């Protein structure tokens, strides 16, 4: 293990929504545990500000060399954060738009704004040094998860056996995560129907009278697994919506290898 590589206390998963970042967050924690590290926090906060507070008031003050804090935010981070490494993910902005619209139940204009923000963040992170930031793509998560885990291990300077990598990939497969989020969703519905107490930490308020179940151990929520196939935007965006997206992002899409068809 390279000593200089291990000089970090926080690993940030800092990505736009709907780009596979929650999966990256969870497998990164498991990889560090498999490498013998103590991973904090044990419960996953729901808000960026809570994550930032943990970094400032606990993680960066933590003198135990074996403890690593893995924190997840959607906000863009500065390149020179203390004792930090950053992992970021990206996705075809059009597929991001479709997934965000479904997950949030919002309109096209709101989802388009999110796609534009994702592009801005991607371009900012492109300027960061490779010793500080690891860039991954959504297709890495869905198509080559084993290789993705190896890239994370290399970036963090840790070694994890192949059998353990396979176990982590299986544990966080799309099917298993979908089954888990469905189970916590049904459990929440049952408890609400029975009039049982539900803690604020167990739910995410999406809108008035609309809740998602929230797993404090992983951060996954109801409906978290993206059901949209790659390039589903071709079928799910109207011709007018495609025109608006390509007017705003056409040049960027071509320059970044996505194309317009």
Q: What are phi and psi of 74, to 5 degrees?
A: -100, -20
Q: What is the pLDDT of residue 78?
A: 95
Least confident window among 52-66, 111-125, 196-210: 196-210
How far apart CA 138 and CA 256 sit, in angstroms, is 14
Q: What is the pLDDT of residue 3?
A: 37
Predicted confidence (pLDDT) at residue 2 exceeds the cutoff of 50: no
How far apart CA 109 and CA 117 sit, in angstroms, is 13
Predicted confidence (pLDDT) at residue 11 exceeds the cutoff of 50: yes
- State pLDDT tens for residues 22-60: 999 999 999 999 999 999 999 999 999 999 999 999 999
Using an 8 Å Cβ cutoff, are 75 and 51 in contact? Answer: no
* Percent of the chain whose pLDDT exceeds 90: 87
What letter does residue 120 receive in the DSSP assignment? Answer: H
State the average pLDDT over residues 246-251. 97
Q: Is residue 6 very low, low, confident or very high in pLDDT (cuts 50, 70, 90)?
A: low
102-111: Cβ within 8 A, 24+ apart:
102/223, 102/227, 102/228, 103/17, 103/18, 103/223, 103/224, 103/226, 104/206, 105/206, 105/207, 105/210, 108/241, 108/244
Separation in Å, CA 122 to CA 10, 16, 46, 75, 233:
21, 9, 23, 12, 20
**Residues present in the chain in total:** 261
List domains and CATH numbers for the chain.
10-91+121-173 (3.40.50.300)
Predicted confidence (pLDDT) at residue 67 exceeds the cutoff of 80: yes
Contacts of 140 (CB under 8 A, 6+ apart): 20, 89, 147, 148, 151
Strand pairing report for 67-73 and 10-14: parallel
Half-sphere exposure in the Cβ direction for 210 (13 Å, CA): 8
- State pLDDT tens for residues 204-247: 987 767 889 999 999 999 888 877 778 899 999 999 999 999 99
Average pLDDT value over all residues in the chain: 93
């Amino acid at each position: 293990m390279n000593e200089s590589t291990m000089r970090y206390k926080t690993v940030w998963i800092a990505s736009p929504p709907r780009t596979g970042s929650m999966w990256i967050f969870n497998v990164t924690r498991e990889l560090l545990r498999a490498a013998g590290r103590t991973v904090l926090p044990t419960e996953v906060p729901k808000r960026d500000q809570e994550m930032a507070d943990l970094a400032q008031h606990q993680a960066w003050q933590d003198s135990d060399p074996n403890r690593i804090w893995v924190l997840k935010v959607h906000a863009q981070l500065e390149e020179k954060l203390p004792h930090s490494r950053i992992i970021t993910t990206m996705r075809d902005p059009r597929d991001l738009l479709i997934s965000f619209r479904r997950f949030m139940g919002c309109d096209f204009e709101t989802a388009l704004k999110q796609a534009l923000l994702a592009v801005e963040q991607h371009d900012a992170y492109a300027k960061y040094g490779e010793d500080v930031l690891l860039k991954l793509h959504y297709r890495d998560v869905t198509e080559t998860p084993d290789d993705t885990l190896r890239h994370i291990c290399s970036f963090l300077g840790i070694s994890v056996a192949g059998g353990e990598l396979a176990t982590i990939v299986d544990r966080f497969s799309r099917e298993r995560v979908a089954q888990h989020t469905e189970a916590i969703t049904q459990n929440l519905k049952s408890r609400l129907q029975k009039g049982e107490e539900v803690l604020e930490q167990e739910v995410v308020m999406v809108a008035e009278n609309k809740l998602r179940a929230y797993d404090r151990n992983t951060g996954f929520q109801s409906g978290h697994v993206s059901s949209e196939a790659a390039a589903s935007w071709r079928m799910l965006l109207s011709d007018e919506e495609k025109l608006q997206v390509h007017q705003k992002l056409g040049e960027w899409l071509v320059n970044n290898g996505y194309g317009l068809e």
